[in-house]
Structures are given as structure tokens and as C-alpha cells.
Amino acid sequence: MSDNQAILDVILENIRDAVVLTDGERRLLRVNKAFEALTGHTAAHLLDRSGEDAGAAHDQLLRAMTVNDGGRWQGAIRCADGADRLFDVTVSAVNGTAAFPTHYLGLLRHSSGEESRRFGHDDLTGLPNRDIFADRVDQAVLQVNRSGGSVALLLMGLDRFTMVNDALGHGAGDRLLIEVARRLRHNIRETDTAVRLEGDRFALVMSIAGTDDSVIVAEKMLKAVREPFAIDGQEVVVTFSIGIAIYPQDAASGVALVKQAENALHHAKVSGRNQYQFFSKDMNRKARLRLDLEARLRRALANEEFAVYYQPKVRAADNRIVGAEALVRWLDPEKGMVSPGEFIPVAEETGLIEPIGSWVLRRSCQQTKAWQDLGLHRVKVSVNVSARQFRSRTLVDTVVGILEETGLDPRWLELEITESMLMNDVEAAVRKMTALRELGLGLSIDDFGTGYSSLSYLGRFPITTLKIDRAFIADVDSNPKTAEIARAIIGLSRGLNLEVVAEGAEVEDHVTFLRDNGCDTVQGYYYSRPVPADQFERMLTEGVVRHL
């Protein structure tokens, strides 16, 4: 028996055919070396189902092995590079002396290129092929017609691919295309479709909420491909040219959309490659503005062109300042003051929000501590935290570091976050908030009432303050329904034993309403606009504000 086992091992590991072996219950027992070479999965990964790709391949294999003795299964199996490739599996039962099979043996073979094509997959890269492409475009268009939104079609061509092919040979060219496909797959969402059209042409079909989304993806694609590839021990650098068209903005049908994206791609190629071009001139202009803004933001960070302004939070009963919201301002030497509404979204997408946010936090803590050291009236400072900052794994460490460095007592610091940041992953949000609260600082929900959070969650979040969105304050004096909502939020925060702050109080009627309804702390133009540090320092010297 052990002799047989040894013989079997040698055979399995040395034959060129890829082999899968299961027991009589069709539980996976082993795969051989040829199988690893063919699919990229090692036996260990497959058996442990480690990772998404190995898990998928494991399940697909077991499905393949359920055909009868002598039967043949054809279907896609997920390879280790994430691509679905078409395989034939021929299954034989091993009966031995038993009545029922004790094992099943599967022989795995790549389906022919012709079969793969019919199946809708590109044999080389494992991406969907041209046949599926038209169908995906049509589906996306139908989906938009039914439920709104837009479709972005990105057509992408590798620049100078023929040069790589000529210099290094077709084998190297093929390996490059496989690597490009892998990077594409890693940079798109589950719901997007990446396609290999032919040669060095790829396409991406995606549904988007706003046209800005396509800019973000196009930039991601350019960047993903620009990183050098290691092909046959050589470093190969290639770039993409990308043409973008958007349905329904640029075209009235799927076919027309493809045509416009082709026009845009042509335009990108002749305008110098390594870039994307939109079909519409207006989008090109917007994309350029955005790129320009990003470059200026990077410079602004290096040159410290930011400032923190402070807006008082006032106790309505006696006009005493109880806190300040720190609001970032960008003093661009060319364009003057740029409002955060304009640059925070771009900073968020590009990741610049992390260094900018840390800078604002550090400056606000430093400043607040300096005012305390001057013996001025003590107030709490509230700093806004964006979605990306909140998700960042380093947020807690950053806050700890800044508190240590500036020596500010954490009870004088509050972070403002918005509802929408909390709802994706409630568990993770609660963990992070708890860690922050354990440092001794306060947590406020900003713009409360505008999100779609379920009230039932509110009690689970370890927050200290609710901040009523200014949309509700704006017409409390004229709209009875809004007034009722504002009253309800105030009541809710009482019930949950939270502080409540109203933002955007602009006129005396707002303040009167809030005071009469039990909202003690008020922020808004009625008392003061956000002001530079030196002006706020003068306010602190008095400790109270009168409205302007």
C-alpha cells in the first residue's frame, strides 16, 4: 500500500496533466504541480480556501467534480491572478474493491481559444471579451434608463505597445498584457466591468453617480499602469491613453456611446498620450480645473498656505463663549481665500485630507493651549474630521500624538463627524469612537438630521453632542414643520443626555426660538462669523459676544 502511495505521488507530481483528487464524498484531497502551474493556486491555498480567489476556485472545482464517471464539465475557474478562465474537467471514478467509488480523479485542461471566445472570455488575460462588452454597455444603458444615474465608458489603449512587442518579443508582450489586466482588475469595483477588446485595447464600463467619479477612475487607471512592470527580468514602462464618454450626456444609445469614447481616445492619443480626454469639451475643462486644484493643494500644504479660523459657540442665556469650531481656510496667493467646500472634496479624493487634517488639528490644539496659558477664558475647541480621516487606521495615534505634543487637556477637544461616516460599518465606527472617547475627548455628530441614519443606532454611538444642521435652523421661524423637527432633535438629545448645539443661527428669531426650546448652545453669523485667531483671542478676552 505504501509502495502504491509512493508510486502515485511520483506519477502525480511528474505528469504534465493537471490533476484534482477528491475522496468518495467529493471532498478535495489534493492537486498536483501541473495544476498549480495551470491555475496559479497552490494546493495549500486551495485546501484552506485562503483568500477570495482560492475560495472561489475551490467551490468551482467541487462543482466540476460532481459530474458522473467519465463525464466532462466545462466552465470558468477563478485563477490566482483573479481572472476567470475556461477549463474542461474530465472526471473518472476510482472504485477499488468497494461498491461505491472511494475517490474521484479530475483531469483539468484549458479550453481552446475558440471555446473561450464563445464563452465570452479573453483567453490570455481572463477578462471578458468584445462579445460581452457590447452586452454590458447595453445593460448599463438600460439600467440608467430605468433608475437614473450615468454610465461612464472608458476606452484605454496602451501607448507604444508595438514597440514593447518588437523589442522584447510577443511572449513578453503577452505577459505585459496579463499584468496590465491584473492591475485593471485590482483597481475597479465589483460592479464595474473591465474588458479586453483586442490587442492593447481595454475598456471599462461603470455606472457613476456624478461625472467626477469618472475623473477619479481615469486618474487611478493612468497611475496603475504607469508603475514599471517587471517582464522577463526587464523593467518595462508603458502608459495609457484613455477616452471617456458618458451616457446620457454625450450619446443617445450604447452604440453611439462607444463611438464617442473612440473619438475621445483618438483625441487623447494625438494630444500626447499618457492622459485621458473626455468626449465633451466641458468635461475636459472641469477635469483640468480639478487637476490644477490638486497641484495647487499640494503646493499649499508644502508652503503652509492654510489658516484656522474660529467661530464661537455661545451660551444663549448670557452670551458667554463656551467653545469654538475650528474651520480651515486656504489663502491661495493667486486666487485669494478658497472655501473648504471647494477644496475639501478634492483633498478627500486625493488623500491630501490626511496631512491637511492633521495640520488643522495640531494648530487648533496648539492655539487653544496657548490661550489657556495666557489665562484667557477656557473654551472647548471642535475640529472637523472628514470621512477618510475617520476611516484612517492612524487616526487615534495621530490624535494621541498631537495631544501629547501640544499638552492640551483632552477634555478641551471635541471632534465633529457626520452621520454618513458611521453607517457603513457600525461596529467598526463604534470601536473607533470608543477608542477616541477613552482618550477623554468629546465627539459630536455634525449636520445632524441631514443623514439617513436610523435613530435606533444613535444610542449605540458613544457621542457627547448633537449638532443640529443649519438647514433646520434657517427656517425655524417661518416653517412650522422644520420647527417641529428642530424641537424633536433637541428633545432627543435631552433624552439621550447629550449636549445639543445649533449651527447657522443668523437672526434674533433663530436664537429666541432655540433658547425657548431648550437649546442652550448656539453658533452662527448672529453672534459671529468664523474669524482669524487674533480676532478670536480678543473675543476670549471679554469672554462674551454680543451680536454684531
C-alpha cell at 354: 490626511
Residue with grid cell 518588437, as numbered in its chain: 166
Distance CA 470, CA 524 (A): 9
Q: Per the omega criterion (within 30 degrees of 0), is the bond before 248 cis?
A: yes
414 binds Mg ion (CB under 5 A): no
Residue with grid cell 461625472, as numbered in its chain: 211
Q: How far is the CB of 346 from Mg ion (least distance, A)?
A: 19
- What residues have CB less than 8 Å from 188, skipping those under 6 apart? 194, 204, 206, 217
386 binds ligand C2E (CB under 6 A): yes
Q: Using CB under 5 A, which of the segments 166-174, 199-207, 342-350, 413-421 binds Mg ion?
A: 413-421
Question: From residue 336 to residue 375, what is the string marking binding to Mg ion with x (rule CB under 5 A)?
Answer: ----------------------------------------
Q: Compute, in degrees rounded to 10, the torsion defined by CA atoms 527, 532, 533, 535.
A: -60
Q: Single out the residue of 70, 272, 336, 341 in contact with ligand C2E (rule: CB under 6 A).
A: 341
480 binds ligand C2E (CB under 6 A): no
Report which secondary-structure segment, H or E, holds 231: strand 229-231
Residue with grid cell 483618438, as numbered in its chain: 266
101 binds ligand C2E (CB under 6 A): no
C-alpha cell at 405: 505634543
486 binds ligand C2E (CB under 6 A): no
Please state at what angle helix 281-302 crosses helix 340-350, rounded to 10 degrees: 90
3-state secondary structure (DSSP) of residue 253? coil
Q: How many other C-beta atoms lie within 10 A of the C-beta of residue 145?
A: 10
Q: Which residues of 54-76 are buried (b: 16+ CB within 10 A; e: fewer)?
A: bebbbebbeebbebeeeeebeeb
173 binds ligand C2E (CB under 6 A): no
User: CA 270, 274, 278, 284 torsion: positive or negative?
Assistant: negative
Q: Single out the residue of 122, 159, 414, 416 in contact with Mg ion (rule: CB under 5 A).
A: 416
Q: Which of residues 392-421 bind ligand C2E (CB under 6 A)?
A: 416
Q: How far is the CB of 110 from Mg ion (least distance, A)?
A: 57
Q: Single out the residue of 275, 384, 389, 521 in contact with Mg ion (rule: CB under 5 A).
A: 384
Contact assessment for residue 226 and residue 244, using Cβ atoms and an 8 Å cutoff: no
Q: Using CB under 6 A, which of the segments 114-122, 217-225, 339-347, 398-406 binds ligand C2E?
A: 339-347
Q: How far is the CB of 145 from ligand C2E (least distance, A)?
A: 35
Q: Single out the residue of 143, 162, 253, 339 in contact with ligand C2E (rule: CB under 6 A).
A: 339
Q: How far is the CB of 425 from ligand C2E (least distance, A)?
A: 19
Q: How far is the CB of 418 from ligand C2E (least distance, A)?
A: 7
506 binds ligand C2E (CB under 6 A): yes
Q: Which amino acid is at 123?
A: D
Instruction: Write the burial class of residue 363 (CB in 10 Å: 0-12 exposed, 13-18 middle, 19+ buried).
Output: buried
Q: Which of residues 291-320 bind ligand C2E (CB under 6 A)?
A: 311
* Nearer to Mg ion among residue 77 and residue 381 (C-beta): 381
Binding site for Mg ion (CB under 5 A): 384, 416, 446-447
Binding site for ligand C2E (CB under 6 A): 311, 327-328, 339-341, 344, 357, 360, 384-386, 416, 446-447, 470, 503-506, 524-525, 530
